[in-house]
Structure 1
Amino acid sequence: MTVVEDRPATAEAPRPKRPNRLWALLRNSWRQLTSMRTALVLLFLLAVAAVPGSIFPQRGVNRERVAEYFTNNPKLAPALDRFFAFDVYASPWFAAIYLLLFTSLVGCVLPRVREHARALTAVPPQAPKRMERLPHHESGIRRPEDPAAAAAEIAKTLRRNRWRTRARETPEGWTVSAEKGFLKETGNLFFHIAMLGVLIGVGFGHWYGWHANRLLVEGQDQGFCSALPQFDESVLGPRVEAGDLPVFCMRMTDFESTFQTTGQPKSFEASVDVSEEGGDYRQRRFTVNDPLRLDGATINLIGQGYAPVLRFTDRFGAQQTATVPFLPTDLMMTSEGVVQFPDVNVDPNGERDPKLQMGFEGVFLPTGGTDGSALSQFPAEDNPVLYLSAYRGDLGLDSGKPGSVYALNREKIADGDLQKISGERPYVLRPGEKWTLDDGTTLEFVGTQRFATLSIRHDPTKVSLLIGSIVGLIGLMLSLYVHRRRVWFRVLPALPADGEPAGGSVIESGGLPRTDYPGFGDEFAALTRQIQEGKR
């Protein structure tokens, strides 16, 4: 016989809800990204990522130096270019680090601002029951007042010393809680908010800013105006158009430079005539550390050099004069350059033979030596010497292909379309001397003009960047030199001891530094002594 046991019906226990793995991954990734450790790592990576921008020439700053690097390193340069080594600050990996750092700072700062706001409005916590366990402790302090009056005097003394204070009455007596050093977290937040402001300013500066370079030769007929075709190179922000550029024209009338006895530059000063918005020309002067400030543009002097003036007389007696900058290659201003005369040897009938074009390349020494070496001995123009080699043929300027104005077309030389006619050794010229070539044509070294390399920039956020840097520095100083600390005082009625009558108060004190603060012991001892002696 089978016995069936009756059991009450029970509902099936609910299964535990399985966590959403995607949500958990996103949440943990966000927490990791917005942690202070990640922000510091990203800041370090941003600094490391900016290093190649100072090692390799950048297209946005000097395209000629980039082209020169490709010429000198034909195998390495293309490999580096694939990793944006010549466009570091416009590379996707630099932008990724930049955006991650910005996101990390936002996610890190906003919760801390909220928590700090709560801390600023919160009252100091109640005194712990066992103050003898605190790092700093003092007991047996006696005051003649009753506990309420003594607590009021302690609170007044603490407030006078800029402590945030709260006195509380307890069943045993009174307690006074005080804390100080909230400016540490305030400074820390100021630093991070300022860093966010700098990042935002850099971004807006990239959008609405622009910069250009111009090599300006001394002379009334060598000026330029603020039009894109007249800049040697220019980069406009994504939100800037050519019509947004300020309208000005400039020509350099004088350039003065001084050097130390070792050849190190001592001072550069350029004198220019500037016309703004079509007005009259006015004379202005500026130096390396004192840029020329126009409405909407700042012009910095970043380099200087020499431009030889050469006059070529062709076989038909026609003359052409060229003033060509030679680029310095060392600190002593040894300079290399190319002079091209594509429109010479044109017969009176107007027929132009491209095989009779003339090109000269060589080295200019502002101070030539006595040993005949092609190296300048001093950057000032004490003994100018020009070493030139002559080429005749097709310069390749009519092919439509872009080329450098500082070098002859090597493909034409290799193909034989441009032939060297001056022999193996370069010809030496000094100012005022002439060189007669094999066909009777002449080249005269007339003299030199100075040139200045100008960097023209407009950064609409430079004031905000300055303010952000100052605020960040102030915040950093506060976070380093201000320390969080708390002190507590428990005031109890005094009991008779050692024959003394009852009355007055006995005080126990304790202190706790919230951060590493070696000087807190001395501060706590001085504060306790002040309370004990009743100083006001």
Structure 2
Amino acid sequence: MTTVDDKPAVDTPPRPNPAWALLRNSWRQLTSMRTALTLLFLLAIASIPGSVLPQRNVSAQAVSDYFRDHPDLAPTLDRLGAFDAYASVWFSAIYVLLFTSLIGCIVPRIREHWRAVRMTPPEAPRRLDRLAASSPAEEVEGTPAEAAARIRGTLRAARWRTAAREQADGSWTVSAEKGHTKETGNLLFHGALLAVLAGVAFGGWYGWHGNRILVAGEDTAFCNSVPQFDESGLGPRVDDADLPPFCLELTDFRADFLETGMPEFFEATVTVDEDGARRSERFSVNSPLRLDGASVYLLGHGYAPVIRYTDRYGVTQERVSPFLSTDPLLTSEGVAKFPDANVDPATGQRQDDQQIGFQGIYVPTMPEEGLVVQSVHPAENNPGLTLIAYRGNLGEDAGIPNSVYSINQAQIDRGKLTQVGEARLLRPGESWTLDDGGTVTFVGTRQYATISIRQDPGQLFVLVSAVLGLIGLTLSLYGKRRRVFFRITAADLGESSTTGRSSLMEAGGLPRTDYPGFADEFAELVAATRPGGRRAEDTAEGTE
């Protein structure tokens, strides 16, 4: 009977945990340079909607206009977050992934680069003639130790990291390397990019901004608070109480135009009330007004017609209504609403169906002939105001927000508002008597400035990071990593020797990156190491 000996059991390695393996591989994929570049490209694409489409935190009115002009497309874009692109889930996801990827890329490379910088240049290879650049052995003056010291001094003067070693056979080798600034610049660039992302995120959390149409005049002054902004946006860590207290009054506005109507110069003069002290300041488009805790930027300019209405009971009201420009020549549209008009003095009751609103088109310079539908120049050379009167319920008390720049079209469609007579063209100082005896007068205009007030605490940090990023990119592009090696052996003393004490030196070198000029630099460096040769810093390239 044959028996088979039991074979010893073979130890099989434990199977890795599938969940841990998935996490590890996912992390490696996320922190690869290819993924970081892909996410950076996706971030650029994700920024396109924020540049092309109107954004709610910049101009809510522009978003409303887009809904009006594109009633079918706008709701779909709104569900995708296109009108709040930079606060959308998909943009935030790309942002966070890119942030994580950059950290995962940079930290290991910083450790490796730090070790490489501190590491002694490696030993010279046995066959220097097999390197990319080499120099045959030639006689040099001095013993191997003296020649090695001289070569090392020459290299160190040219900012090479060097190491000299004595070999067992009495020969000496000198190793040198240069060009670590390439990786330093690369890491600096990626670190700066990470800092830019962090600065933008910090500014988004702790920054705020607001836009305001500031009409000239003391009665239209502005104080820095959220209710007085036309449009505003506060960071998640900012509330109304954090806004710096100051007030602005537009006292003058200078607008210069070319004959073609193109703007040449805008300058606003304001009275600033800050901490109880009043002072006059000027600022222009490219020169913002710097205040304590905020900056005021000049965005645009326009006109606010002053319209006076006297109702049928003889009560007079006056409105200063900013009109929004519709073209570069400042043809402007707007409204003046009088919801408290026609109050019966006998009863003191307001008649909601007797409210008055005027929709108008203001033209700074009317054409000499033809219909007045568009201005021919943005300066007020021949101003005119075309008004359309509406009587009825303006819809101001319905609890639904209405635009201050247009008549409620829904009220017109429902028959709650009806047009009174035909449109009328008025020049400054002219009046129009309506069918009920009320009169409207075009008093004149005031200029207004569109200003943006904002505070971004990460702005300086982002600027410094961007400058460092450019420096790092320059270093990474111009830095060339390379190594050179020298071997010095004792020469046989004989009649062929030109000195009483000499050695043989051979050299070799190789670039660690693509460097077309390395051969020339190597030749000049070898020539500089010979006795009587020019200084290495005068011959070898100083580029890191």
Could you tell me the TM-score, scaled by structure 2's length? 0.94
Please report how far the alpha carbon of residue 102 of structure 1 lies from its aligned counterpart in structure 2 after TM superposition. Answer: 0.4
Deviation at 1:305, TM superposition (A): 0.7
2:337 to 337, 340, 350: 340
How many Å apart are 1:352 and its aligned residue? 1.5
* 1:42–1:100 CA contact under 8 A, matched in 2: yes
Q: Aligned partners of 1:497, 1:530: CA distance in 2, in Å? A: 26
Q: Matches of 1:430 and 1:516 in 2, distance apart? A: 74
Q: Deviations over 1:277-326 (max 9, x none)?
A: 3x032111111111111111111111111101111111111111111001
- What RMSD over aligned residues (CA atoms) do the two structures have, in Å? 1.7
Aligned residue number for residue 230 of structure 1 = 228
Matched residue SS, 1:282? strand
1:52 aligns with 2:49: yes
Task: Verify: 1:169 aligned to 2:166, yes or no.
Answer: yes
User: What corresponds to 2:462 in structure 1?
Assistant: 465
The answer to whether the Cα contact below 8 Å between 1:495 and 1:503 also exists between their aligned partners in 2 is no
Residue 542 (structure 2) aligns with? none
Change (3 A) 1:44 1:433: same
Which of 159, 183, 201 is the matching residue for 1:185? 183
Alpha-carbon distance in 2 for matches of 1:231, 1:254: 21
Deviation at 1:75, TM superposition (A): 1.0
Deviation at 1:264, TM superposition (A): 2.1
State the SS of the aligned residue for 1:113. Answer: helix
Q: For residue 209 of structure 2, give the secondary structure of its aligned residue in structure 1.
A: strand
Match of 1:446 among 443, 446, 450: 443
Q: Equivalents in 1 of 2:215, 2:271: separation in Å?
A: 13
Deviation at 1:206, TM superposition (A): 1.4
Measure the CA separation in 2 of the matches of 1:99 and 1:362: 48
Contact 1:142 1:532 survives alignment (8 Å): no
Please state how far the C-alpha of 1:463 moved relative to its aligned partner. 2.1
CA distance in 2, matches of 1:498, 1:416: 121
What pairs up with 1:183-262 in 2 under 5 angstroms?
Answer: 183-262=181-260
How far does residue 43 in structure 1 lie from its aligned partner after superposition?
1.0
Aligned residue in 1 for 2:147: 150
Instruction: Structure 1 unaligned segments of length 5 or more: list them.
Output: none
Equivalent residue letter for 2:385: L
CA deviation digits over 1:165-220, x for unaligned, max 9? 11111234111110111111111111111121121111121111111111110001
Cα displacement string for residues 80-120 of structure 1 (whole angstroms, at most 9, x for unaligned residues): 11111110000000000000000001001101111111111
Q: 1 CA distance for matches of 2:76 and 2:68?
A: 14
Residues 465-488 of structure 1: per-residue CA shift (max 9 Å, x gap): 222122112111111111111111
- Higher deviation after alignment, 116-125 or 518-527: 518-527
Distance 2:4 2:516 in 1: 75
Q: Give the aligned residue type for 2:400.
A: K
Counterpart-to-counterpart distance in 1, 2:532 and 2:173: 17
Q: Give, in whole Å, the separation in 1 of the partners of 2:474 and 2:359.
A: 57
Q: Residues 57-206 of structure 1: matches in 2 within 5 Å?
A: 57-172=54-169, 173-206=171-204
CA contact (8 A) 2:63 2:83 kept: yes
CA separation in 1, counterparts of 2:440 and 2:109? Answer: 74
- Sort the Cα spacing of 1:364 and 1:141 in 2 relative to 1 into closer, same or farther, 3 A: farther
Q: What is the aligned partner in structure 2 of residue 37 from structure 1?
A: 34
Q: Distance in 2 between matches of 1:241 and 1:479?
A: 43
1:522 to 520, 523, 532: 520
User: In the alignment, is the contact (CA less than 8 A) between 2:141 and 2:531 conserved in 1?
Assistant: no
SS of alignment partner, residue 300 of structure 1? strand
CA separation in 1, counterparts of 2:412 and 2:3? 110
Name the CA distance, whole Å, in 2 between partners of 1:168 and 1:233: 72
Task: Give the 3 Å change call, closer, same or farther, for CA 267–141 of structure 1 in structure 2.
Answer: farther
Opposite residue 76 of structure 2, the aligned amino acid is: A
Question: Aligned-pair distance for 1:23?
Answer: 1.5
Q: CA offset at residue 15 of structure 1? A: 3.1
User: Which AA in structure 1 matches 2:341?
Assistant: V
Q: State the TM-score, normalizing by the size of structure 1.
A: 0.95
Whether the aligned pair in 2 keeps the contact of 1:488 and 1:509 (CA below 8 Å) is: yes
SS for the counterpart of 1:457 is: strand
Give how far 1:10 is off: 4.7
Change (3 A) 1:497 1:353: farther
Greater Cα shift, 45-54 or 141-150: 141-150
8 Å Cα contact 2:173/2:485 also seen in 1: yes
The whole-number CA distance in structure 2 between the counterparts of 1:341 and 1:238 is 38
For residues 431-457 of structure 1, give each alpha carbon's deviation from its aligned partner in whole angstroms, at most 9, with x where no partner exists: 111122222221111111111111111
Number of residues of Structure 1 aligned to a counterpart in Structure 2: 530
* 1:280 pairs with one of 277, 280, 285: 277
CA distance in 2, matches of 1:151, 1:534: 15
Q: Following superposition of structure 1 onto structure 2, how do residues 15-30 of structure 1 map, counting pairs within 5 Å? A: 15-30=12-27
Which residue does the alignment assign to 2:301? 304
What's the CA shift string for 1:387-408, capped at 9, x where partnerless?
A: 2211111111111111111111
Distance 1:534 1:124 in 2: 26
Cα gap change, 1:139 to 1:366, in 2 (>3 Å): same
8 Å contact kept, 1:436–1:442:
yes
Partner SS state of residue 277, structure 2? coil
Structure 1 residues 497 and 27: CA distance shift in structure 2, 3 A: farther
Residues 141 and 532 in structure 1, CA contact (< 8 A), matched pair in contact too: no
Q: CA–CA distance in 2 between the matches of 1:183 and 1:5?
A: 71
Q: 1:44-72 CA distances to partner (integer Å, 9 max, x unpaired)?
A: 11111111111011001111111111111
Match of 2:324, as an amino acid?
L
Structure 2: stretches of 5+ with no match in the other structure: 536-544
1:320 and 2:317 aligned: yes
- Show the counterpart of 1:367: 365
* Equivalent-residue separation in structure 1 for 2:481 and 2:392 (angstroms): 80
1:21: Cα distance to partner?
A: 2.0
1:14 to 11, 31, 36: 11
Residue type of the partner of 1:128?
P
Could you tell me how far apart the structure 2 residues matched to 1:26 and 1:16 are? 20
1:353 equivalent in structure 2: 351
Partner of 1:395: 394
Q: Which residue of 1 aligns with 2:413?
A: 414
Residues 214 and 231 in structure 1, CA contact (< 8 A), matched pair in contact too: yes
Matched, 1:379 2:411: no
| Residue 267 of structure 1: aligned partner | 265
Q: What secondary structure does 1:347 align onto?
A: coil
Distance 1:178 1:269 in 2: 61
Which residue, out of 472, 475, 479, partners 1:478?
475
- Partners of 1:341 and 1:470 in 2: CA distance: 54
Q: Distance in 2 between matches of 1:114 and 1:483?
A: 20
Contact 2:137 2:507 in 1 (8 A): no
Matched with 1:405 is 404
Structure 1 residue 269, shift from structure 2 partner: 0.9
Distance in 2 between the 1:35 and 1:216 partners?
51
Distance in 2 of aligned mates of 1:385 and 1:493: 101
Identity of matched residues, %: 56
| Per-residue deviation, 1:233 | 2.0
SS of residue paired to 2:95: helix
